[in-house]
Amino acid sequence: MLGTFCRRIFSKTIETIEIKTWEDLLKQEEDLRVNEWLFRGMPCAGWKLKTSLERACENYYENCHGGHLSKAAHLEYVLYREFRRRYHNHSVGIPDPVGIEWLSLMQHYGAPTRLLDFTYSFFIATYFAVEKPCEESCCHAIWAVRSKWVEEEGIKLLKCGRKDTGYLDNKQNEREWELQKSFFESLLNLEEHDLEKRTEHSQRDPLCVFPINAMKLNDRSTIQQGVFLCAGNVTRPFEENLKNLHGFDKRKNLVKLFIPHKLRIDVLRKLYSMNINKATLFPGLQGFAESLGIYHPLAFGS
């Protein structure tokens, strides 16, 4: 049974909820809406939370001594620098010289980063969970992370692991954004040109996760109500960073919802009626064209 399958794999790490009907999804959305949760949809329930930087390290450094993530800081710097050097060839507007802004753009266009896409919208995450069928698993998944928890616990670990955290004691400061970006510049350390020092520095970074967003949002981020979770230490897996937050195993902070594959078309149909589909989430001809291969009421019926 689905429930047995899910619990066998995940019960020792986080709380899980099995979705059996569309009404179950509506009930969960209502419950989670109260405390401002962040959501991420995953086509296959068995997939781990893994950043594109982690996956790139697996490709680049498959047989690396010390593990492929031992080179993560080096790869992050090389790709970050290369993206900034060549960006002007493809776009007129140049973003602010801030690491967060550049990483956000890199993530948007598919370059490897330490960021992981989440959304404030439960239903948008649901769409990304069921958008594609998954042959590896009998169910899709939605990760739900309580926003206040991940921010507060992330701050605690950042304070312990770094010295430059004064702004964190006064979050109402009118210069919050300037202070925040300065802090993350130090954390990301993307301007350190000595790669040996950068690698050593990154290995000492705190194991944590922290929500963040660029100041200048692009259209897609706005439409998808996007937000990033940023890994504090790129030399360790994202999930290890997340599990280091106190309360990781508490249902009030983190939960994983499982949607059986047999509900996929019905969920897509309901989301389509809410105007949540590939065409609306990815405006333009390409998004519309790709939406026709996922779900359309004229093909599947009403």
Biggest CA–CA distance in the chain, Å, is: 60
Mean pLDDT, the chain, integer: 82
Distance (Å, whole) CA 68 – CA 240: 15
Residue 127 contacts residue 271 (beta carbons within 8 Å): yes
Name the token pair of 198. 């950068």
Non-local (6+) Cβ contacts of 132 within 8 A are: 43, 294
Give the pLDDT score at 117.
95
What is the C-alpha end-to-end distance of the chain, expressed in Å?
29
pLDDT of 249 over the 50 cut? yes
Supply the pTM of this predicted model: 0.85
Q: Which residue has the higher pLDDT, 180 or 232?
A: 232
Token pair 């990033």: residue = 228
Q: What is the mean pLDDT of residues 271-277?
A: 95
Residue 32 contacts residue 148 (beta carbons within 8 Å): no
Give the pLDDT score at 274.
95
pLDDT of 176 over the 60 cut? no
Indicate the Cα dihedral angle 147, 39, 121, 225, nearest 10°: 80
Non-local (6+) Cβ contacts of 106 within 8 A are: 79, 80, 83, 112, 113
The predicted-structure confidence for 43-99, as pLDDT tens digits, reads as follows 999 999 999 999 999 888 876 655 788 888 888 888 888 998 888 888 777 766 667
79-83 contacts, C-beta under 8 A, 24 or more apart: 79/106, 79/111, 79/112, 80/106, 80/190, 83/111
Give the pLDDT score at 194.
61
Q: What is the mean pLDDT of residues 102-127?
A: 93
Give the pLDDT score at 173.
44
Backbone angles phi, psi at 94, to 5 degrees: -105, 125
- DSSP, residue by residue, 74-120: HHHHHHHHHHHHHGGGT-S----S-HHHHHHHHHHHT---SEEEEES
